[in-house]
Structure 1
Amino acid sequence: MKTLEQIGAELQGYDPQALSAEAVGEFLARLVQPLDQHETIDLTDALDRVLANDIVSPLSVPPHDNSAMDGYAFDGAQLRAERPLELEVVGTALAGKAWQGTVGAGQCVKIMTGAIMPPGCDTVVPQEFTQPAAEGRVAVPPGLLRAGDNRRRKGEDLTEGLPALRRGERLTPAACGLVASLGIARVAVARRPRVAYFSTGDEILSLGQAPREGAVYDSNRYTVRGLLARLGCELIDLGVVRDEPVQLEAAFRRAAAEADAIITSGGVSVGEADYTKAMMRQLGDVAFWRIAMRPGRPMAVGRITQGERSAVLFGLPGNPVAVMVTFLAFVRPALLRMMGTRAEPPVLLKARSAEPMRKKPGRTEYQRGIVSTLADGSLQVRTTGNQGSGVLSSMVQANGLIVLHHAQGNIDAGDEVDVMMFDGVI
């Protein structure tokens, strides 16, 4: 296991007091490793879990050539561009069983969607496209079809013996349906990360406590809880921990003993009481960063050790918006890596700014934005207004973060910007 100093030495220009957002991602990709434990569970419980092994298809899907339409199946080689094709209907093929007859030249079979294609047939004309003909016959108009149309080929979805899903993929609703289509009832998935979280500070009130002058109710813990639950982690809520050495030590030791990761909010900024930072240093290998970003500049990262166990630490700022932004930008990708997902950068949408935005090169800014679709189908984004890191209501109003990259300067109205959308994440 590499120390933080060793990881920092691998990164060109690593400076914990002036760290770019990109460098944070690179550092965490080296610090956080996938859990090496897995379990086998019922498919009905597998939504959003991460596959621990490839799923190799035990059969081909579909298992036979079949019809994609209700219509008539025939040999497409008989089609002629200059005249209709008249065919005798010699039977009906239903879904769920093979038709037992034979189809000769000039003949066809009435067929239902999903029914196995009879031998000698490779084309289906939809019923609504046929023309009237003599009793017991149908006519196919010229120029309507090509040989092979409206036929699903055996194995065109999945091929027997080949991977249907790869290790590290999350089991979305569509993926669960795909597994079920293979007749597989149980799947091996990576163990869920256990994440302990707590808020620090003498000014923080828990719900149910009476208000007092200078104190605020703890919102961060509920925000973090929701973000972790959406991600599929096991939660260990340690509440609000006062900025006192004994209480902090107990909380960190319990978290390190029970969890794979620890998330704290507050206590990492310059000028705050030193007990939280001192306890982090005492119990682990921790770096205190000043990140070139807005909001969320201060952050602590490292490992807290308890006996033979250690947990990855993410010490987030105390301001509510900064907590959410640093979680989305850094913690969420790190936890996905811990879960064993294949590393993929977040998908950023392109939208045109509805307003000018001031921005200094040399830091990454995450502004709360509202994306909308204009009459011409293009995407436009505007800010929510006040971008203060304590304005939690702005995160409720927003549907994404406008990502203004490290080297970008001022944005003019109409300029294209990147947006990290919230859908399904927060």
Structure 2
Amino acid sequence: MPVKEALAALLANAKPSADVEWLAIEDALGRVLAEDQLSVVDVPPQDNSAMDGYALNTAALGDKSVKRLRVSQRIPAGTAPQMLQPQTAARLFTGSEIPLGADAVVMQENTVAVDEGGEQWVEFLEVPVAGNNIRRRGQDVRAGQVVMPVGTRLQASHLGVLASVGIARVQVYRPIKVAVLATGDELVMPGNPLKPGQIYNSNLFTLRGLLQGLGCEIVMSSMVEDTREGTIAALQQASERADCIITSGGVSVGEEDHVKAAVESQGELKLWKLAIKPGKPMAFGYVNGKPLLGLPGNPSAVLVTFCILARPFLLKSMGVASVLPQQLFVEAGFSRTRAISRQEYLRVELVAGRAVLGHSQSSGVLSSAVTATGYLVVPAGAVVNEGDRLPFIPFSEVGI
């Protein structure tokens, strides 16, 4: 199945939970809004100064040869001003409210302060223009405006905007519960000695890190023995505890690959085998009504299939409205004359705006993902000529 069709099928099966809770905004980073957020105030709430300087009515200077005015009041930020007296200026600061009667602010660098007989005067070194350096009421946000729609995944800038309109608490979706299962009798947990034929388990930790970055609640994280019975037992336990199950390995066609058969015996398999490289054995189905994402066993295939397919599914299941990563178009810094039948995701580094291949594209090599900065997407059946512009997905867009 082509990647685009597989992604559409996955998203069609992703059902956001209706389980919500209220959180203080300081505790809501990474959470997903369950309702629109409306402002009850204008931001800023009144016209204010964009810088330190002097407020005046531009008509007060007229055609005077000496452009100066008496300073009639001082307005610190956070205090209410008096109406501007005719033929005077007001000393004010960044964020100070503009007094009624003023129509411009001149920055202090373009003025000279003068003390004459105990009175403060200001000379203007530029001709002020009405509207200069004034931030108008509501220019950022208007009262009644939807500042953030339902489905927004809250980042630091979102929290700042919510605070700016006085919102202290938000209704958000509860995190989905995920079970992570790594299959393979050859796998050993880090910290233990390796025996002949064994390797350390990296997939469990890659997946845990990616899930934690999404804000999922990991309720089960374990290794599964390579037997049909052990796999079925682990899937049963996971389906009882989690909203979604993610496995690595066991979905190919080998004699020791038991996940596919175990899923089919306990539920249904809705898709299997994709036109993607790496990650062809990717599977999706249900175990006791709980969705299962069956990722391949090779470490880089786990990374690609999670980022491109599992991540959007999980985000939509969390209530996120926009789930696909942003893509750029960059020039290929290499050529490849051999086309392949699957859409390929190459680990590349951007050098002077061009995509340079990582040291290895093997699905068993994970270290090249550390030195790369993103995936270069090569469509199925395409050759690559140096200078071709191809889609590029920065790792920052997929949580790596």
TM-score range relative to shorter protein: over 0.9
The answer to whether the aligner puts 1:380 opposite 2:359 as a matched pair is no
Match of 1:69 among 39, 51, 58: 51
Alignment partner, residue 154 of structure 2: 171
- Cα-to-partner distance string for 1:150-188 (whole Å, 9 max, x where unaligned): 111111112112212111111111111111222322211
Q: Superposition pairs for residues 104-115 of structure 1, below 5 Å?
A: 104=86, 106-115=87-96
The alignment of Structure 1 onto Structure 2 pairs a total of residues equal to 396
SS at match of 1:366: strand
Percent identity for Structure 1 against Structure 2: 39
Alignment partner, residue 55 of structure 1: 37
Residues 64/390 of structure 1: CA separation in 2 closer, same or farther (3 Å cut): same
Alignment partner, residue 393 of structure 2: 420
Residues 115/236 of structure 1: CA separation in 2 closer, same or farther (3 Å cut): same
- Cα-to-partner distance string for 1:52-88 (whole Å, 9 max, x where unaligned): 1111112111111111110001123557799774322
Alignment partner, residue 346 of structure 1: 325
User: Is the contact between residue 277 and residue 344 of structure 2 (CA under 8 Å) also seen in structure 1?
Assistant: yes
Residues 141/95 of structure 1: CA separation in 2 closer, same or farther (3 Å cut): same
Deviation at 1:204, TM superposition (A): 2.0
- Cα-to-partner distance string for 1:368-389 (whole Å, 9 max, x where unaligned): 11113x3xxxx12201132110
Match of 1:187 among 161, 167, 170: 170
Deviation at 1:395, TM superposition (A): 1.1
The answer to whether the aligner puts 1:23 opposite 2:5 as a matched pair is yes
SS at match of 1:281: helix
Alignment partner, residue 207 of structure 2: 224
Match of 1:261 among 237, 241, 244: 244
- Cα-to-partner distance string for 1:379-408 (whole Å, 9 max, x where unaligned): 12201132110011111111111111235x
User: Is the contact between residue 61 and residue 68 of structure 2 (CA under 8 Å) also seen in structure 1?
Assistant: no
d(CA) in 2 for partners of 1:76, 1:406: 65
The answer to whether the aligner puts 1:246 opposite 2:219 as a matched pair is no
Deviation at 1:418, TM superposition (A): 2.0
User: Is the contact between residue 181 and residue 248 of structure 2 (CA under 8 Å) also seen in structure 1?
Assistant: yes
Deviation at 1:35, TM superposition (A): 1.3
Alignment partner, residue 183 of structure 2: 200
d(CA) in 2 for partners of 1:117, 1:97: 11
Residues 142/249 of structure 1: CA separation in 2 closer, same or farther (3 Å cut): same
RMSD of equivalent CA atoms: 2.1
Alignment partner, residue 318 of structure 1: 297
User: Is the contact between residue 103 and residue 121 of structure 1 (CA under 8 Å) also seen in structure 2?
Assistant: no
User: Is the contact between residue 369 and residue 400 of structure 1 (CA under 8 Å) also seen in structure 2?
Assistant: yes
Deviation at 1:271, TM superposition (A): 2.7
Deviation at 1:365, TM superposition (A): 0.6
The answer to whether the aligner puts 1:291 opposite 2:270 as a matched pair is no
d(CA) in 2 for partners of 1:98, 1:153: 16
User: Is the contact between residue 53 and residue 108 of structure 2 (CA under 8 Å) also seen in structure 1?
Assistant: yes
Moved more, 361-370 or 134-143: 134-143
Deviation at 1:288, TM superposition (A): 4.4
SS at match of 2:261: helix
Match of 1:37 among 12, 15, 19: 19
SS at match of 1:419: strand
Alignment partner, residue 140 of structure 1: 124
Alignment partner, residue 73 of structure 2: 91
- Cα-to-partner distance string for 1:113-172 (whole Å, 9 max, x where unaligned): 1111101112100000125778433233455x4211111111111211221211111111
SS at match of 2:74: strand
d(CA) in 1 for partners of 2:35, 2:9: 27
Moved more, 395-404 or 241-250: 241-250
Moved more, 412-421 or 396-405: 412-421
User: Is the contact between residue 197 and residue 221 of structure 1 (CA under 8 Å) also seen in structure 2?
Assistant: yes
Unaligned segments of structure 1, at least 5 residues: 1-18
Unaligned segments of structure 2, at least 5 residues: none
Q: TM-score, normalised by structure 2?
A: 0.93
SS at match of 1:298: coil
SS at match of 1:250: helix
User: Is the contact between residue 50 and residue 95 of structure 2 (CA under 8 Å) also seen in structure 1?
Assistant: yes
d(CA) in 1 for partners of 2:96, 2:367: 55
User: Is the contact between residue 78 and residue 85 of structure 1 (CA under 8 Å) also seen in structure 2?
Assistant: no
Q: TM-score, normalised by structure 1?
A: 0.87
Residues 40/312 of structure 1: CA separation in 2 closer, same or farther (3 Å cut): same
d(CA) in 2 for partners of 1:419, 1:184: 37
Residues 160/385 of structure 1: CA separation in 2 closer, same or farther (3 Å cut): same
Residues 79/405 of structure 1: CA separation in 2 closer, same or farther (3 Å cut): farther
Deviation at 1:363, TM superposition (A): 2.4
User: Is the contact between residue 82 and residue 100 of structure 2 (CA under 8 Å) also seen in structure 1?
Assistant: no
Q: What amino acid sits opposite 1:423 in the alignment?
A: S
Alignment partner, residue 111 of structure 2: 130
Residues 302/73 of structure 1: CA separation in 2 closer, same or farther (3 Å cut): same
Alignment partner, residue 135 of structure 2: 152
